[in-house]
Amino acid sequence: MPTVTFVQSTGESIEVAVAEGTSLMRAAVTNGIDGIVGECGGQAMCATCHVFVRPEYAGALPPVSDDEDEMLDCTTSERTEASRLGCQVKVSAELPSIVVDVPADQV
Ligand code: FES
C-alpha cells in the first residue's frame, strides 16, 4: 500500500498508508494530520490543502494544471517551486511513497 509522510513545520513526521488513487489531501484529512484542511473537498477552490513536495518526488508527479496554478497563488504560506495542492496529487503505483512538508500556516 502506498505511503505518504507528512512533515510538520515543527519537524514531527507522520507516515500513513493509503489506497492507490487517494489524494494527499484525503490521506491527511482521514488520518487527522494537523495543518491540512481541505475545505472545498478537493475541488481546487480553497488552497487549504497546500503542501510542499520534496524535490526527489516532484518529478514523478503530473504537472500543475491551470486551475491548480491559479489557486496556488492564494495559499496562506508563501508559494514556492515545491508547492502543490494536496487534493490534486494522488498516490499511485508509479508513486508508491511520497514525503511532503506541511506549511506552517494553512488558513
Ligand atoms: S481541498 Fe480545496 S483546493 Fe484542495
Ligand 1: which residue has its CA nearest to atom 3? 44
Q: Which of 91, 100, 44 has the alpha carbon at shortest distance from 72? A: 44
3-101 CATH choice from 3.20.20.70, 3.10.20.30, 3.40.50.150, 3.40.50.300:
3.10.20.30
pLDDT classification of 45: cutoffs 50, 70, 90: very high
Ligand 1 pocket member 75 (CB < 6 A):
no
SS3 sequence of 9-70: CCCCEEEEECCCCCEHHHHHHHCCCCCCCCCCCCCCCCCCCEEEECHHHHCCCCCCCHHHHH
Q: pTM, whole model, 2 decimals? A: 0.96
pLDDT at 69: 98
For residue 43, report the distance from its CA to the centre of ligand 1, in Å. Answer: 6
Residue 94 scores a pLDDT above 90: no
Question: Domains of the chain: which residue ranges?
Answer: 3-101
For residue 24, report the distance from its CA to the centre of ligand 1, in Å. Answer: 10
